[in-house]
Amino acid sequence: MSGRRFLVDTHILIWALDGDAKRPEQYRQIVADGSLIYVSIVSLWEIAIKTSIGKLEIQADLTETLQQYSIEILQMTISHIEAIRTLPHHHRDPFDRMLIAQAMTENLSLLTVDRHFALYDVAIA
């Protein structure tokens, strides 16, 4: 185990659920090296919303995928919500803003390819 800790962005989780074809090789290595990987409850909420309105179709079993990759669920806390207040408004996606706040608060590096995240003072793998 590497001792490093990461928070998976929603689209990276969706790619894992979709069979991994789009997930960058560097992120596959991070998962393979035994790093501690989290997914935010916020990402699970976002996936549920998008599937319920027909914007996203997921065939894989979410619980099985989380277990397969040994991904832990990161709950939302008051400190995460408070951290949102100080974030600059580089973009408006509330799900992304919460992931950034959680990563900053919990000292996690984000696994993302979203270029907007780099505008914030947050570690990106």
For residue 42, is it within any domain? yes
What is the domain-level CATH number for residue 54? 3.40.50.1010
- Name the residue range of residue 29's domain: 5-75+109-116
Structure pTM? 0.89
Instruction: Look at residue 40 and tell me if it is in a domain.
Output: yes
Q: How many CB atoms within 10 Å of residue 94?
A: 10
For the record, the structure tokens of 19 come out as: 């069979």
Chain segment 88-107, per-residue pLDDT in tens: 999 889 999 999 999 999 99
Give the model confidence (pLDDT) of 12-38 as tens digits.
Answer: 888 877 766 666 677 777 777 778 999
- Whether 7 shows a pLDDT value over 90: the answer reads yes
Q: Is residue 121 part of a domain?
A: no
Domain count for the chain, please give it: 1
CB 122 within 8 A of CB 102: no
- Domain assignment of residue 63, yes or no: yes
**b/e code 64-73 from CB counts within 10 Å (16+ = b):** ebbeebebee
60 belongs to a structural domain: yes
Mean pLDDT computed over every residue of the chain: 89
